[in-house]
Amino acid sequence: MTMRALAARLRMIARGGLRPGSLAAFSAAIVLVALATLLRLVIDIFVPSAAPFTTYFPAILVAALVGGGSAGILAMLLGVVISYWIFMPPDFYLRPLTLDAPVNFGLYIFASLTIIWIANRYRRVVRKLNEEEHYRQVVVDELGHRVKNKLATVHAILRHELRGHDEIWDSVAGRLRALSVADDFLVSSGGTAVELRQILTMELKPYGSANVAMRGEPIQLFAKLPAVLALVFHELATNAAKYGALSTPEGRLDISWTQRGGDVVVEWVESGGPPVTEPSRRGFGSNLIERSLAGFGGSAKIDFALAGVRCHMRFPLVQAPDAADMEAKVAQDGTGARGAG
C-alpha cells in the first residue's frame, strides 16, 4: 500500500470510524495509549513534574472518535493504570492511594468521560450525515433513471407524431439529445475537472450558436460547482429561449468571463430580443439563479434591463482536489455509511 493510499484509508477511518466493540477498535485504543505513554516518558525526561495524565486525553479522544465509546473507556482505564504505575512517584510501583490521588483520578475520569460523550455525539452526527448522503445519492440515481425513461418516452411519442416531418424531427431530436446530455452531466459530475466553456456549450447547444458569442480564457472547475453552474446556465438559457434574446432571430446573447484575483466573473448579456419588463415577483428560477452560488462563497445578480436581461456572476476559483482526497471519497462511496455506530 502506497503512502497516498494509506493516507486515504486513514481519512476514511477518521470519517466513518471502526465498528464499536470490535477487535480493531480496541486494538486502536491500545495503540493510541501506547503512543501516549511513549510521549509521556519523553516529557518526563525534561519535565518530571508534569501532570501524569496530560498525554492520555488526546488518546482517549481519538480512540472514542475512531472506535466508539467502548474504545474510549478502554483508553481511559489503561491511562489510569499506567499513570498510577509509572508516572506517580515512586515510579513503577503500585502503592496505597494517598489523599490527593482520588481527587486526581476523579478529575481525570470526569474529563475523560466528557471527552468520550462529546466524541460519541460527534460520531452520531457523522453517521447521520453519511446516511443522508447515501440516501440522497440513491434518490439522485433513481430520479436520473426516471428522467431518462421519461425523456425516452417523449422521444418515442414525438418520433411517432412527427413521422413524415423529417426536418422538424431532426431539430427536435437534437434538442432532446442535448437535454439528455445535460441531465447526465448533473447526475455524474462531482470530482472531475470541467471547463466553464464546456458547461455553457452544453446548455446552449439546444438553441444553436448563431446568436451566441462566448469569450473567455480556459477555466477549470471542480467539485460540485460545475453542476450548480449548469443549473444556473440552464435556467438563464431557458428563459432566454422563451422570453428573451434567443426567442427571436434578431436577438443576441453575449457571454464573457475572466479571472479577477481569486474569483471568476461571468457576464451574461442579452440584447435584440423582446422588450424586458421587471417581473412583479421573483419566481423559483430567479431565486435559483441568485442563491445557488452563495454556498460556494459566490453571488449572482439579475438585471431586467429594457434592452435585455443581464446577469452578473462571481464565484471563487476552486483549486483541483488533492488526489488523496479523491481516493478517500472513492473508498467512502464504496463502503457507504457502514463505519460509524
Lowest pLDDT segment from 56-70, 75-89, 110-124, 324-338: 324-338
Q: Is the pLDDT reported for residue 168 higher than 60?
A: yes
pLDDT at position 1 is 56
Which residues on neighbouring strands pair with residue 255, listed in sequence order? 214, 268
Q: What is the mean pLDDT of residues 45-73?
A: 89
Which residues on neighbouring strands pair with residue 256, listed in sequence order? 215, 267
Q: Which residue has the higher pLDDT, 64 or 11?
A: 64
The CA R_g of the chain, rounded to the nearest whole Å, is: 30
pLDDT band at 91 (very low <50, low <70, confident <90, very high): low
Half-sphere exposure of 4 (CA within 13 A, CB side): 6
Lowest pLDDT segment from 102-106, 177-181, 257-261, 285-289: 177-181
Amino acid at 26: F
Q: What is the mean pLDDT of residues 179-202?
A: 74
Helix residue spans in 189-247 (DSSP H): 196-204, 225-242
pLDDT band at 131 (very low <50, low <70, confident <90, very high): confident
Q: Is the pLDDT reported for residue 175 higher than 70?
A: no
Lowest pLDDT segment from 28-42, 178-192, 228-242, 261-275: 178-192
pLDDT at position 179 is 67
Which residues on neighbouring strands pair with residue 300, listed in sequence order? 313
Q: What is the mean pLDDT of residues 154-173?
A: 83
Amino acid at 23: L
pLDDT at position 181 is 66
State residue 268 phi and psi, 5-degree precision: -110, 115
pLDDT at position 152 is 83
The percentage of the chain sitting over the pLDDT mark of 90, rounded to a whole number, equals: 33
Between CA 308 and CA 91 the distance in angstroms is 83
What is the CATH code for 192-320? 3.30.565.10
Cβ-contact 34, 86 below 8 angstroms: no
Cβ-contact 293, 316 below 8 angstroms: no
Q: Is the pLDDT reported for residue 94 higher than 70?
A: no
Lowest pLDDT segment from 80-84, 121-125, 281-285: 281-285
Calculate the average pLDDT of the chain. Answer: 82
Cβ-contact 255, 266 below 8 angstroms: yes
Lowest pLDDT segment from 79-83, 203-207, 276-280, 283-287: 283-287
pLDDT band at 151 (very low <50, low <70, confident <90, very high): confident
Q: Which residue has the cell 473508498?
A: 331
* All structural domains of the chain with their residue ranges: 3-132, 192-320
pTM as predicted: 0.52
Q: What is the mean pLDDT of residues 194-214?
A: 89
Q: Is the pLDDT reported for residue 333 higher than 60?
A: no
